[in-house]
Structure 1
Amino acid sequence: MSAHTPSTSPAVRAPRADGQSTRQSIIEAAGQLFAERGYAETTSKEICARARTNIAAVNYHFGGRDGLYLHLLREVHQHMMGREALARLAQADLPPEEKLSRFLAALVHGIIDDTGWHTRLWAREVLSPSPLLNQILREESLPKFQSLSQILAELTGLPVGDPALTRCVLSVVAPCLLLLVVGREVETPVQSLYAQPAASLHAHLLSFALAGLAAVGVKQGKSAAENPG
């Protein structure tokens, strides 16, 4: 017979597509529930009920509830700026001012423009830490701290590891951390910032940070001149 036999490849690919769809449904359902209730009050059964899938799916795709929660925390960091992206930025052939600008832009836009569960989940995790917080801090936060330290070292002349440079990192990220923890739903003096364009807040935080870092750099230069060698 010369009739063309239809390809069976879509039928072969369908289970994988269904599996990916189920995995994404679990991620979204879990992100919402963990953000609403926290780690301790959210069960795999509730997650699967909202995702409309079998309870065994959490174990199959993530190895259990803790594996799923770790995946979500990693996704939160990627949502802002992943450690690999920040490491590349720190090593890029760009002026340090531009590096800092890009870092703050990613962070601010990730917070202000987020209408999903990412920032709310991280805020809840910080305020009510799970047993997995230390692991995610080692995996994600510490490498990002080191990369940002490299950028600020270029701006200030301070050596990496200097306590003064650590204070600079804290000064740069603290306003964004405050926005993360407080959140847009809480009635506070900073709530109005969520109604402003992210670009406006980015520009303000960048100019404020650069002025402070420049002052620290001047002080560092004077100290080096007064204490040569």
Structure 2
Amino acid sequence: MPNTENRKHPTAKTATRRGRTDGDATRALILEAAGQLFAERGYQETTSKAICAKAGTNIAAVNYHFGSRDELYLAVMNEVMQHLLNLDYLARIAGSGDTPEQKLGQMIDGLVQGLIDERSWHPRVWAREILTPSPLIDRILETETLPRVEIAMPILAEITGLSITDVKLRYSLLGLMSPCLMLMVINPDLPTPLKPIFQRPAQEVAAHIKAFVMAGLHALAAEAR
């Protein structure tokens, strides 16, 4: 007769940990499926039913893990921004001892690499949000865009010598955002005049963008002086 006294039984803690792991895996599946569908169809045309079908989960999984389709969309947008411009990465750069030009250059390098080398769904979700804003655009700007702008603005102020409150500093932000936004919104597979750029190394593309942006910032600095 087998000895069962020393046999290990799953404890409540082990079961809870397993349940949490399974839940995290399901949540990640839903997030990935939602990202792909939002990139393909946009916010308006993507249903919870379609997301669950693609993720292979129960129809109630979106509400269970995220609360609602809107909250799932916000989670997807957070994933998009963390993928393209990770906040911790930006904060480390901003807090380093590098020159402001070096800091900004590293930020551009990281973003361009994500846009050129990684043909993922992340930029396409953001492009759709820019071109056809969802009803959640205000929340997205507040929680995702503004924190990143707040990191970049002091660096731009250092380079240009402009006050952080000077409206002219917004021109420097415009000059920084414009080329990067173009890379986001243009489909690299379409025969546009910019298609050859997406076939070039990310380092080369970033170098040209940095040269363009830095020239504009230094022009503003000279004007300020």
Q: Compute the TM-score of the two structures, normalised by the length of structure 2.
A: 0.91
| Correspondence 1:66 to 2:74 | no
Displacement of 1:12 in angstroms is 4.7
Q: Within 2, Cα distance between the matches of 1:53 and 1:21? A: 11
Which amino acid is 1:8 matched to?
A: P
The DSSP-based 3-state class of the residue aligned with 2:144 is helix
Q: 1:27 aligns with which of 31, 36, 50?
A: 31
**Equivalent residues in 2 for 1:155-174, closer than 5 Å:** 155-174=159-178
| Correspondence 1:47 to 2:39 | no
The alignment yields a C-alpha RMSD, in angstroms, of 1.8
Residue equivalent to 2:135: 131
Displacement of 1:85 in angstroms is 3.7
| Correspondence 1:195 to 2:195 | no
Q: Within 2, Cα distance between the matches of 1:198 and 1:18? A: 37
**Equivalent residues in 2 for 1:1-229, closer than 5 Å:** 4-6=6-8, 8=10, 11-221=15-225
Identity of aligned residues (%): 48
Displacement of 1:123 in angstroms is 0.8
Displacement of 1:136 in angstroms is 0.6
Q: Within 1, Cα distance between the matches of 2:50 and 2:80? A: 21
Q: Within 2, Cα distance between the matches of 1:18 and 1:69? A: 21
Q: Compute the TM-score of the two structures, normalised by the length of structure 1.
A: 0.90
Q: Within 1, Cα distance between the matches of 2:131 and 2:219? A: 33
The DSSP-based 3-state class of the residue aligned with 1:139 is helix
Q: Which ranges in structure 1 are unaligned for 5 or more consecutive residues?
A: 222-229
Paired residues of 1:48 and 1:55 also in contact (CA < 8 A): yes
Paired residues of 1:123 and 1:183 also in contact (CA < 8 A): no
Displacement of 1:194 in angstroms is 1.0
Task: Please list every run of at least 4 consecutive aligned residues from structure 1 whose deviation after the TM superposition is greater than 4 angstroms.
Answer: 1-4, 9-12
